[in-house]
Structure 1
Amino acid sequence: MSLRPVLVFLWALVGCCRSAHQGTGASGIDIAANLGSVLPMLSRPANASRIFYGVMFDAGSTGTRIHIYTFIQSGPDVLPVLDNEMFHSVKPGLSAFADMPEIAGETVRQLLRVAKKTVPRLEWKRTPVVLRATAGLRLLPAKKAQALLDEVQDAFDESPFLVPEDSVTIMDGTDEGILAWVTLNYLTGHMQTMSENTVGILDLGGGSTQITFLPKRKKTTESAPEDHTAKFDLINTTYELYTHSYLGNGIKAARLAALGALGAEGLEWRVFQSTCLPKKFREDWSFGGLTYKISGIPDGYANYRLCYQEMEHVVKGIVHQPYGLKDSSVFYAFSYYFDIAVAAGLIDERQGGMVKVQDYKRRAKEVCNKMAKYRLESPFLCMDITYITCLLKDGFGFRDNTALQLTKKVNGVETSWALGAILEHFQSIKIHQGHASPDSSALAHR
């Protein structure tokens, strides 16, 4: 996926110009001056505000989310701004229906009904709908993943919305991290000032995890593996991001790895045990369309130290530690970093907050050393919070006193790659101000 469109559009929103292009390995991004191609022509009076919409589906490993964005252009000489986002989600994710793909299509139709209630009827034909699948489908065999995408495509084609040619695809993990970084820095105002004091992002999904930040030391990118960097030029300055996506290191996939169940056979008769689970815990647990028999170790020990040792095998030698991470910018952490912190009582669900790495560690010790207390309500809490602690410390190399900003929303907008992705798509379908409307038949795939 090219990164040129999203950076052009985002810089248009803040009054400057840029574009991006991603190649093989590191990605290179150049400046673009033509802003006319990012604005749709709507059938409204010349002196009226122009409102247009975009619908982005985030098909993750644990759920499918719909983001419905409203953009406003108040006049021909005024750049558009993001006015509103409507968010809704359903569980489980599409990958749970790998053997029943038709159900995946019904899940999407359910969310499309939400879009129809949100977007005015007169705007349906010019409002693009786009779905990007992440680690849940990347972990599936290609044929099963494609069957799910085909069902989604059928649901889109039946809808009254604009369905561009590439509206249903699997997103590359690197793009996922970069688009989330662009979105967060746009929402926090750092891109408006072209500041080098940007924020980094940590995203923890069910199947994969991403880290993206702008290093303050050149050695950070020089010492990084080749596929852990992304370059781009902004005005007369070249920026180089440290960015990588770890497939198989999301919170749910990490559970399987710790249990020794990731990629295992004989699931119908094998029981996978862990010291991170309560001794008397035993149940069937499903992820990615497969069901696993899992349990604690009835006659063994269960505590934080033993659990942490299990998690080290999931992290060490797999997750690269960036050089100079302690000198980098403030990091925003979201998705399961946020959810597990809420479950552990570290933050308020409505307000979020700052959490230090040592706070995760302290709470992990408390939970794991009294696991029986959480056996029924939160049997995975010890495993999950210990994994996060290990990922941050022994994986990425954060210090104990490093503070992370945990949040679900910034300025009322979900903290994810979805905003960046829909802005990228507006540019990719070449919506031109005063030249072509988004419901042009040449743009639609029916």
Structure 2
Amino acid sequence: VIDCGSTGTRLNIIRRGEDGVTLQAVSWEEYRVPFPGYTPKKHGYNRLETTPGIHNQAGAGDEGVRSALDPLLLWAKEALAGHGDPAHTPILLFATAGARKLGEADRNELMASVRRVLSSSGFRFRPEWAKIVAGEDEGIFSWVSSNYKLGKFAAGDGGVVNMLELGGSSLQASYVVNGSDAGAREVEVLGRKHGLKVQSFNGYGMNDAFNATLYHLLGDTAGGLEGVEDR
């Protein structure tokens, strides 16, 4: 699964259990295959990543997209050698707020290039497996993955935690509400249904908010937060 965030493009490996249902995230270090140019100091997080965010390649065509994806795809092929034919290994790509804030023409062009690159990657791919996710869906993914990681679903609704996710370009607030609450989404995890309400705020991510603050302090309102009047 390729996560195209506003600050970088990351590769995540998900292993299917022997039961064919269970899924488990696998640390890239388990494969003992070095990632070119990787250093903890440079990357900041222990993850496979290319920078900057793939939305910066809008208008650069397939070659621009390849510069973001090829290092990750080449690493995956080497790491997964001996684990079956890559043509049987599905690859999915989800882009978030960095791509959402592009104009429609740039979004369409970028995703067309992404689909062409992944179609020729050697992995199993379908065009619908690459998409720009809505802010609400991004919040749901964050809420589900965090609560699953914390083991909260076994405790029922009373045991889950609400989430405030601060990305580079957007902010998502995800919290459990009564199922009859207007705007609530029904999310089913491990056979249990949860009423979830998500609010997404473009421009309130860490990097965008920091930049907007600088613009404001310098008297340039052009970089202000989305939907917020200058005061």
SS in 2 for 1:210: strand
Q: Distance in 2 between the 1:81 and 1:148 partners?
A: 30
Larger radius of gyration: 1
The match for 1:201 is: 163
- AA of the residue aligned to 2:49: S
The yes-or-no answer on 1:169 pairing with 2:131 is: yes
Q: Distance in 1 between the 2:94 and 2:25 partners?
A: 22
Residue of 140, 153, 167 corresponding to 2:102: 140
Q: Would you tell me which structure has more helix in proportion to its own residues?
A: 2
Q: Distance in 1 between the 2:69 and 2:188 partners?
A: 38
Q: Distance in 1 between the 2:6 and 2:218 partners?
A: 23
The match for 2:22 is: 80
Unmatched tracts of structure 1, length 5 or more = 1-55, 262-271, 275-291, 295-312, 319-446
Q: Distance in 2 between the 1:212 and 1:157 partners?
A: 34
- Post-superposition offset of 1:159: 1.2
Sort the Cα spacing of 1:187 and 1:260 in 2 relative to 1 into closer, same or farther, 3 A. same
The match for 1:284 is: none
Matches within 5 A, 1:18-33: none
Q: What is the percentage of aligned positions where both structures have the same residue?
A: 27
The match for 1:63 is: 8
The number of residue pairs the alignment matches comes to 207
- AA of the residue aligned to 1:136: G
Contact persistence 1:259–1:273 (CA under 8 A)? yes
Q: Distance in 2 between the 1:95 and 1:83 partners?
A: 25
Sort the Cα spacing of 1:232 and 1:156 in 2 relative to 1 into closer, same or farther, 3 A. closer
RMSD: 3.2
- Post-superposition offset of 1:195: 4.5
The match for 1:120 is: 81
- AA of the residue aligned to 2:80: V
TM-score norm. by structure 1 comes to 0.42
The match for 2:66 is: 105
Q: Distance in 2 between the 1:194 and 1:213 partners?
A: 14
- Post-superposition offset of 1:210: 0.6
The structure showing larger relative contact order (alpha-carbon pairs under 8 Å, at least 6 residues apart) is 1
Residue of 188, 196, 213 corresponding to 1:258: 213
Unmatched tracts of structure 2, length 5 or more = 29-46
Contact persistence 1:129–1:163 (CA under 8 A)? yes
Matches within 5 A, 1:299-310: none
- AA of the residue aligned to 1:180: S
Contact persistence 1:178–1:212 (CA under 8 A)? yes
TM-score norm. by structure 2 comes to 0.76
- Post-superposition offset of 1:85: 3.5
Q: Deviations over 1:118-162 (max 9, x none)?
A: 223523111111111111111011111222212221211111110
The match for 2:44 is: none
- Post-superposition offset of 1:81: 4.5
Sort the Cα spacing of 1:148 and 1:60 in 2 relative to 1 into closer, same or farther, 3 A. same
Sort the Cα spacing of 1:164 and 1:260 in 2 relative to 1 into closer, same or farther, 3 A. same
Contact persistence 1:66–1:111 (CA under 8 A)? yes
- Post-superposition offset of 1:234: 7.4
Sort the Cα spacing of 1:257 and 1:83 in 2 relative to 1 into closer, same or farther, 3 A. closer
Contact persistence 2:13–2:27 (CA under 8 A)? yes
Q: Deviations over 1:255-286 (max 9, x none)?
A: 3433458xxxxxxxxxx816xxxxxxxxxxxx
